């Protein structure tokens, strides 16, 4: 009986979590046309056009973990600023899929292929994210997928 109650509780919890996101079943297509999968403890939003086997974001409890996004647009010449802005646009769009925005970000991890551009990156990043700023680490790397110059991943909190 206790295991039946626990199973019922998990189903009810899943229903409550999925209702918060406007979802109504365990596997479906979200209102933005993307795929997601829900379990009793997390909701996974699939990554559209991913360069590897990973999810676009995962909701677990009150936290949303957003996979790293790059700003490189295949086949287009971009300035560094355009690439950073596109990267931030993609992060913002992924947050919006969970009903969040930059004000909900509590932590970010930034990868730059050219640390000489750290100041330029900071100016662009600081203009888009509201104070109080999230915690952040910035790591210089030799290369990123698709010859991108910047990648950002964030963790946000649902209020």
CATH class of segment(s) 62-157: alpha beta
Share of the chain above pLDDT 90, in %: 61
Give the model confidence (pLDDT) of 112-129 as tens digits.
999 999 999 999 999 999
Residue 7 reports pLDDT greater than 50: no
The pLDDT-based confidence of 42 (bands split at 50, 70, 90) is low
User: Which residue do the tokens 């996004």 mark?
Assistant: 69
The predicted pLDDT at position 56 comes to 84
Give the model confidence (pLDDT) of 66-87 as tens digits.
999 999 998 999 999 999 999 9
Record the tokens describing residue 95, joined without a space.
Answer: 């947050």
Residue 57 reports pLDDT greater than 70: yes
Strand 150-157: give its sheet, edge to edge.
Answer: 27-29, 35-38, 42-46, 55-60, 63-70, 150-157, 105-112, 135-140
Ranges for all domains in the chain classified under CATH 3.30.1330.40: 62-157
User: Which residue do the tokens 């925005």 mark?
Assistant: 101
Record the tokens describing residue 76, joined without a space.
Answer: 């287009």
């Amino acid at each position: 009986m206790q295991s039946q109650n626990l199973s019922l509780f998990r189903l009810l919890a899943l229903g409550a979590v999925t209702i918060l996101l406007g979802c109504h079943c365990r596997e479906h297509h979200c209102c933005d046309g993307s795929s997601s999968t829900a379990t009793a403890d997390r909701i996974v939003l699939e990554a559209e056009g991913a360069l590897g086997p990973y999810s676009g974001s995962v909701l677990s409890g009150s936290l949303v973990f957003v996979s790293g996004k790059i700003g490189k647009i295949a086949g287009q010449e971009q300035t560094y600023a355009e690439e950073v802005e596109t990267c931030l646009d993609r992060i913002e769009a992924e947050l919006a899929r969970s009903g969040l925005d930059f004000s909900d970000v509590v932590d970010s991890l930034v990868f730059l292929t050219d640390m000489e551009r750290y100041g330029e990156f900071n100016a662009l990043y600081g203009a888009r994210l509201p104070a109080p700023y999230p915690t952040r680490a910035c790591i210089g790397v030799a290369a990123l997928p698709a010859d991108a110059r910047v990648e950002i991943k964030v963790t946000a909190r649902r209020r």
